Amino acid sequence: MSELMVKLNNVVKSFDDNVVVKNINMDIKAGEFLTLLGPSGCGKTTTLRMIAGFEQPTDGEVIIDGKEVSNIPPHKRDVNTVFQSYALFPHMNVTDNVAFGLKMKKVNKDDIKRRVMEALKLVQLESFAERKPDQLSGGQKQRVAIARALVNSPKVLLLDEPLGALDLKLRKQMQVELKHLQQKLGITFIYVTHDQEEALTMSDRIAVMNGGIIEQLGSPDEIYERPASRFVADFIGETNLFEGKVVELDEKHAYLDLSGHKIPIVPTNPVSLDEEVSMAIRPERIHLHNETNGSDFAIPGKVVEHIYVGSVIKTVVSLPGGYQVTVNETPEVAHSFNVDQDVYVNWEPDKAVIIA
Ligand SMILES: Nc1ncnc2c1ncn2[C@@H]1O[C@H](COP(=O)(O)OP(=O)(O)OP(=O)(O)O)[C@@H](O)[C@H]1O
C-alpha cells in the first residue's frame, strides 16, 4: 500500500472572493480507504469534486496516478463518483443503468454483458437486473450506483455521502459491505462524510477538515486517541477539555494545575514550565472512586446526574474550578454512585492528551 495514487499539491479553491479550500496537501496511497470528514460547509465536497474533475482548482495541482489532471475533464480521468442522490436513469432498468458508461465508450456487447453481471454480483443484485429504479429500495438503488461506478474499473472511487439517505440500520450494514468491497477490490476509495462514527468504522485514514483546511490526517486510532487540535478533540467522539498551567516537569510527566490539584500527564509533544495548555480526556478513560485509593492523583467532585445511553451510563461529575466531566461507566459501576454523592475521579496519565 505504499504506491501513491492521488496527490493534492497546494490546492486552493475560491468561488468569487470566498476561499473554501485553503492550500491543501495530501498524499493518498493506492488501495487506501481515505475519508474526508468535517462539518457542513468545511470544503469536503469541493475537494472531492476537484479530484473528480467537476471543479478546477483556483491554484495548485491534482495528480492522479502520477499524472497532473487539473485540466482534464471528469470522463477522461481514472475515477468514478458515487453520489448520495444515486443519479440513476429512471427509465432504464438496473442492467442498462450499469451498462450505460460502457456503451458510451463503445465497449463490445459481450464484454459489456460480462462486466455488468460481474459488477451486479459484487453488490449482490444479480436477481434485480431487470428492475427499474422505482422498484428498488434506497439501499438497492445505492448498490446500483456503486455497481455503475465499479463497472468502469476505476483506479479511484469517489463517494460523496453515499449512505446519507439511508436509515441508520441499513447505513450500518452498507458501511460494512462497502468496506469489504473495497478490501476485496483493492481500489482506492475517497469517501466524504460528516458522520464521525462512519469515518472511524470504515477508513484506513481520516482527513479531518474545518474551514477549508485539514486539521489532522491520521488513522482512526490516532485521530481518536491523539487529537492534534481542540477542534478534532471536540468533533470526534465526546471529550472532556481542561485548561491549565504546567507547574512541574519530571522525566516522564508534565503536571498541570487544575484549580489547585496537580494532574500528571505523559506529554506527546514538548511542553515548558508555566505554559498554559489544553488537555483532553475521553469519558471512557475516566474512573469514579469512593476514595482516593492512594493513586497518583484523584480530583474530588460531586455526581450531578446519570444519563442512560444503552450499554453505558454517562455520569456527569462537577469538579473544582467550575469544570464538569462526563464519565462513561457500565451500569453496574455507575449505579454504585448516587446523585449528589461526593466522589473522586482519576485516569491513567498517558490517556490524557495535551492539544494545541
Ligand atoms: N459552486 C459554488 N459556488 C459558490 N460557493 C460554493 C459552490 N460550491 C460550494 N460552495 C461553498 O463552498 C463551501 C464549501 O462547500 P462544500 O460543499 O465543499 O462543503 P461540505 O464540507 O461538503 O459541506 P456539506 O457536508 O454540507 O456538503 C460552502 O460555504 C459552500 O457554500
Tell me the CA–centroid distance for residue 255 and ligand 1, in Å.
43
Output the nine-digit C-alpha cell for 248: 512541574
Average pLDDT, 10 consecutive residues per value, the chain (356 residues): 87 96 96 96 96 96 95 91 86 94 90 92 89 90 90 92 85 89 92 94 97 97 91 90 90 86 85 90 93 80 92 93 92 92 92 85
The dihedral through the CA atoms of 238, 235, 28, 161 has a sign that is positive
Bridge pairing between strands 240-249 and 213-218: unpaired
Q: Residue 219: CA atoms inside 13 Å, Cβ hemisphere, count?
A: 4
Please answer whether residues 257 and 243 qualify as being in contact, where contact means their C-beta atoms are separated by less than 8 angstroms. no
Tell me the CA–centroid distance for residue 236 and ligand 1, in Å.
21
**What predicted TM-score, i.e. pTM, was given to this entire model?**
0.88
Is the CB of 205 within 6 Å of ligand 1? no
Picking from 50, 288, 304, 266, the residue whose alpha carbon sits closest to that of residue 158 is 50
The Cα–Cα gap between 166 and 185 comes to 24
For residue 2, the model assigns a pLDDT of 56
The Cα–Cα gap between 126 and 296 comes to 61
**CATH class of the domain defined by 4-234:** alpha beta
Q: What is the CATH number of domain 238-355?
A: 2.40.50.100
| Residue given cell 493513586 in the structure block | 295
Domain segments of the chain as ranges? 4-234, 238-355
Is the CB of 39 within 6 Å of ligand 1? no
For residue 35, the model assigns a pLDDT of 98
Tell me the CA–centroid distance for residue 45 and ligand 1, in Å.
7
- The distance in angstroms from the start CA to the end CA of the chain is 31
For residue 1, the model assigns a pLDDT of 45
Tell me the CA–centroid distance for residue 213 and ligand 1, in Å.
13
In one-letter notation, the amino acid at residue 339 is V
Is the CB of 41 within 6 Å of ligand 1? yes
Is the CB of 44 within 6 Å of ligand 1? yes
The dihedral through the CA atoms of 271, 274, 278, 279 has a sign that is positive
Please answer whether residues 227 and 280 qualify as being in contact, where contact means their C-beta atoms are separated by less than 8 angstroms. yes
The domains spanning 4-234 and 238-355 adopt the same CATH topology? no
